[in-house]
Copies of this chain bind each other. A is one copy, B any other.
């Protein structure tokens, strides 16, 4: 069976995702589509609006298999995020990986990836690296004639392509043009498609706008509570107040003394948004800081970053997805595909189980990795 992987958040699922999943399956001529979905915390550095079990239910409207992207990667920036997603895709033995992009032109990605490979080996690149410049900055200085990198989904797509070339060259990358709505649009203005941001806003504000851009068969899953970043604030504040600089410095992605800045500002902060305003500097993007704060909340440590994929957590599956799973289990009997977390296999998903516990605490929910069986349709 041919299979196509989609790296997703579904935060929450909407028509744009449905379109991408359907197009990916048909264009790559795949029998199976697999969503590699972030768990309870997502790349923007926030808790997902719905927990991963609910979002897996939504996802099964469009895909055959929903598996969990490990928690460290879910809240990570492009490169580690892409590398982990590709490794998961490879572990699942997929033939294609399809991503949405502003460009929509696969050749553009392949040729840019090639250029970057060359650039990375140039003396000029190493020189700039020694000057202490950041990787993205060097790229933007050395690649001036390519506007692919100016759009966020293109950049992420490029990370997938390069990760595939490095870690799983047997996977064929594919890109599909993102339809109409830009990723960050705040208001739903199109009839059938809208961005995740605008849909979350409609749900939070309890307007009905989201209903037009979400497949109606799954409307029933879009129920309160709607979890937002502000729900994390008191716990985050407690976590920061309970640590000293040495301990904070151990947190995943903490760098260059920003722990001191956090410790200096936390006491006066009255909300997450306020804290972000107090912390923002030119040095870091808003998202980088927000992800860092989620790593504090989740108590993710530098030395605990997972080095390899030892198991894949299956969150949901159609009958066809289940068949596919049986097939790859047969081909790769040594691989772990876990549909039910229990005491025996819990050590394979320590971080994900922990993230769920914290998500439940901040959201007052109870569905956890032990009491929630794989979702079947």
Contact surface of A with B, Cβ cutoff 8 Å:
234-235, 237-239, 241-243, 267, 299, 354, 357-358, 361, 368
Q: Do the beta carbons of B234 and A368 come within 8 Å of each other?
A: no
| Chain A at the B interface: SS class | helix
B368 touches A242 (CB 8 A): no
What 4 A-B pairs come out closest when comparing CB atoms?
A242-B299, A235-B238, A241-B357, A238-B361
The answer to whether B238 touches A238 (Cβ under 8 A) is yes
Q: Is the CB of A267 within 8 A of B357?
A: yes
* Distance to closest chain B CB from A147 (angstroms): 43
Residues A238 and B241 in contact, CB atoms below 8 Å apart: no
- List 5 additional contacts besides A243-B299, A267-B357; criterion CB under 8 Å: A234-B235, A235-B238, A238-B358, A241-B354, A267-B368
Partner of A361, one of B234, B243, B299, B361: B234
Distance in Å from the Cβ of A246 to the closest Cβ of chain B? 13
Question: Which residues of the other chain, B, contact A241 by a CB distance below 8 angstroms?
Answer: 354, 357-358, 361
By a CB distance below 8 angstroms, the chain B residues around A267 are 357, 368
Chain B's nearest CB lies how many Å from the CB of A278?
16
What B residues does A242 contact at CB under 8 A? Answer: 239, 299, 358
CA distance A267 to B354 in the complex (A): 11
Kindly list chain B residues whose C-beta atoms are within 8 Å of the C-beta of A354.
241
What are 6 of the A-B contact pairs (CB < 8 Å)? A237-B361, A238-B358, A241-B358, A241-B361, A243-B299, A267-B357
